[in-house]
Chains A and B, each alone.
Chain A
Amino acid sequence: MVLLKIKFTQQRRVHLAQGLWLLSWTAVIWGAIIFCLGVYLKMELLRRDEVMDNTEIHVVPNILIIVGLASIGTNWVASCVCQDSLDATRFPRWKVLLLGWFPVAAVLCCLLISVVVLSFALQGRLEESLKVGLRNGIRFYKDTDVPGRCYQKETIDRLQMEFRCCGNNNFKDWFEVQWVSSRYLNFTSKDVKDRIRSNVDGRYLLDGVPFSCCNPSSPRPCLRYTLTDNNAHFNYEYQSEELNLYSRGCRQALTDYYMELMNSTGPGVLSVILIQMSVILGMRYLQTAVEGIMALEDPEGESDGFLLEKGVKETMEDLKVKALIMLQFRLVDPIATEGSSEDADLEKAEKEASPTPAS
């Protein structure tokens, strides 16, 4: 029982080949777009590399890049096959290649689906990575004289200004860290000595934030120091002040940004999956229709195109049998060689045994 059989006249075959040619070129262009999306996403992730602890999230753009390139190649081959499919002399050379083409195209579709799933599944890992990276960035903010960390301050400042965020979870993260370098602290002054003595680790902590936390939309000039002291500033109340600093944490801001980026690639990836599947189906019909016509040796006649020669169950059985035969072949061969060597030993033993009566 053939699966989804369709009759193909000469005219229909020509239309199928032309339509499939066009579709495969569309798929090539979409493959290029997916490649570019992957490159763009990778560049955006690399730009903020310093505030990320691990590179697990890079698997998403890597897969997009690989799939984009593979899809360009695969669909270009498909378009070549379509061009040659109506010429009985040129089609046979593609026969063997087509056997391998279908599994490759199917693997591409699976990879694309996995990209969509991964981009949702890795959100938690991304947040963890950002949490650790930002915490280190804030800790090393003051180390502008330590080689390897001297650009941490600039990185964190630019990040906070660009993404309009402050601290890891919120601006209070800056209260727990010494972000003023000891080079700029006057250790003879009373205020500095008091602050350093007032905590266990001997750090200079203050209830202030760097300038990059300031919100330009605030109606009053930015208040950065002695934030918890209402009396230090005129007409200021710490609990109700909203616009003075950015209220969002940088971890949340960056996660939202990257999630939005990956979600916006979602529709593109889904349409590529659909196009690729249509190309696979169309190619299967074209292959079976053209092979049918070549068997009949009448280029103008009708032929049948189908998805599977027998039903789904029967095809699975066939594949199982074929696989078993291939496996058994390997099993039978060793047994055959063992058997033959045993026979040779037996013969040898007989030969040795036999001459004694003669002599």
Chain B
Amino acid sequence: MALMLVKFDMKKRVKLAQTIWFLYWFAVMAGVLVFSMGLFFKIELRKRSELMDNNESHLLPNVLILMGLIACGVNAFGGKVCYDSLDPSKFIKWKPMLKPFLMFCVGFNGLLFVTALLCFVMRIPLQFTLAMGLKNGMKFYKDTDTPGRCYMKRTLDLMQMEFRCCGNDHYRDWFEIQWVSNRYLDFSAKEVKDRIGSNVDGQYLMDGVPFSCCNPSSPRPCIQGQMTNNTAHYSYDHYTEELNVWKRGCREAMVSYYGGLMNTIGALVLLVTMLEIAVTIGLQYINSSLSSLVNPEDPESESEGWILEKTVGETFTDIMANMKAMSKGGKVEEEAEAGVATVS
């Protein structure tokens, strides 16, 4: 009892072949889409790799790029086979390859599904990488004269302005590190000496933030320095002041940005997986309908198409039996050789 048996006459076969050929070209474009999404994600990660300590995992974009390329190739080949299936003389040369090709397609679809799941899962390691990277990034904000870190200030400033965020979790993170370089501190001034003396590590800490934390929507000019001192600024209460600097932390902002990106890519890859499954089933129908012609000499005769020749259970037992036979066959050959060796 075949799985999902469908009767086909000549017209139906032609229509099926045309539809599946059209869908295959659609699937080629879907493959290009997956490839370009992988490329885009890779570029986005590279752009901010400084903020992730340069040790972010490029596994996901690499897998997407690879899957996109394989999808293009597989779908182009499938489209060619569909096109030739309408002509019996051309189809003959593809016939022996079809079964292994279909098995390969099934495996490829499974891998695509795993890739889609990966998109949703890889969010978690990325979160940790971002947290670590931002913390270190803020520490190196002042090192604009250290080779290898001289662009950290610019990167952080641009990021805070673009993502509308300040600090790691909130703006107070800037109070805990020295973000003014020693080159611009007058060590003979009393105020500087007081500040440095007042903490254990000898760091110049201040209750101020860089300019990139400023919120343009604030009705008053930005207050960056002496933020916790209400008397330093007229009509200012730092507990109720909301619009002055960005309230959100940059870790949250970046995670939600990359998380949204990965969710979108995951959803698109799922859609592509479903398309691939549809074309694989279509090709299987074409293959089975062309190989079960009632009258093999007459290409216009009726035929039947199916997904599996026997039911799922029977197919499974068949596969297990085949595998056992193959392994037994191997054993028998070994014994025969050993027997020959001992005899000789």
Contact = CB atoms under 8 A, between A and B. Distances in A.
B239 interface: no
Interface string A189-210: 1000000000000000000001
Contacts of A222: 210-211
A234 B154 contact: no
Contacts of B154: 216-217
Contacts of B153: 216, 218-219
Q: Is the interface of A mostly helix, strand, loop or mixed?
A: loop
B216 interface: yes
B54 to A, nearest CB: 20
A153 interface: yes
B185 interface: yes
Interface stretch (A11-19, A177-185, A321-329): A177-185
Given A216-B158, A220-B144, A234 B211 contact: no
A157 B154 CA distance: 18
Interface string B214-226: 1011011110100
Interface in A157-192: 157-158, 161, 179-181, 183-186, 189
Contacts of A216: 153-154, 157-158, 161, 212
A300 B149 CA distance: 80
Interface string A219-251: 111101000000001111000000000000000
Contact of B161 (A161, A183, A221): A161
Given A222-B210, A222-B211, A212 B221 contact: no
B292 interface: no
A220 B181 contact: yes
A154 interface: yes
B248 to A, nearest CB: 18
A211 interface: yes
Contacts of B235: 183-184, 186
A212 B213 CA distance: 11
Contacts of B161: 161, 216
B108 to A, nearest CB: 37
A297 interface: no
Contacts of B144: 219-220
Contacts of A72: none
A211 B214 contact: yes
A210 B157 CA distance: 16
Contacts of A279: none
Contacts of A157: 216
B6 to A, nearest CB: 41
A14 to B, nearest CB: 30
A145 interface: yes
Given A145-B219, A219-B144, A214 B211 contact: yes
A220 B211 CA distance: 11
B179 interface: yes
B117 to A, nearest CB: 39
A144 interface: yes
A154 B216 contact: yes
Given A185-B234, A220-B183, A158 B216 contact: yes
B211 A153 contact: no
B219 A180 contact: no
Range of interface residues on chain A? 20 to 34
B150 interface: yes
Given A216-B158, A219-B144, A144 B212 contact: no
B222 A211 contact: yes
Contacts of A189: 234
B150 A219 contact: yes
Given A161-B161, A211-B224, A234-B185, A219 B216 contact: no
Interface in B138-183: 144-145, 150, 153-154, 157-158, 161, 179-181, 183
Contacts of B220: 144, 180-181, 183-184
B219 A224 contact: no
A352 to B, nearest CB: 94
Contacts of B211: 211, 214, 221-222, 224
B162 to A, nearest CB: 10
B201 interface: no
B186 interface: yes
Contacts of B212: 214, 216
A220 B184 contact: yes
A153 B219 CA distance: 8
Contacts of B157: 216
A154 B217 CA distance: 5
A183 B48 CA distance: 41
Nearest to A143: B219
Interface of A: 144-145, 150, 153-154, 157-158, 161, 179-181, 183-186, 189, 210-212, 214, 216-222, 224, 233-236
- The 9 A-B pairs of least Cβ separation, nearest first, read A216-B157, A157-B216, A219-B144, A144-B219, A234-B186, A186-B234, A214-B211, A211-B214, A211-B222
Given A216-B153, A216-B212, A234-B189, 11 more contacts: A154-B217, A161-B216, A180-B220, A184-B235, A189-B234, A216-B157, A216-B158, A220-B180, A220-B183, A234-B185, A235-B184
30 contacts: A144-B219, A144-B220, A153-B219, A154-B217, A157-B216, A161-B161, A179-B221, A180-B220, A184-B220, A184-B233, A184-B235, A186-B234, A189-B234, A210-B222, A211-B214, A212-B214, A212-B216, A219-B144, A219-B181, A221-B179, A221-B180, A221-B181, A221-B210, A222-B210, A224-B211, A233-B184, A234-B189, A235-B183, A235-B184, A235-B186
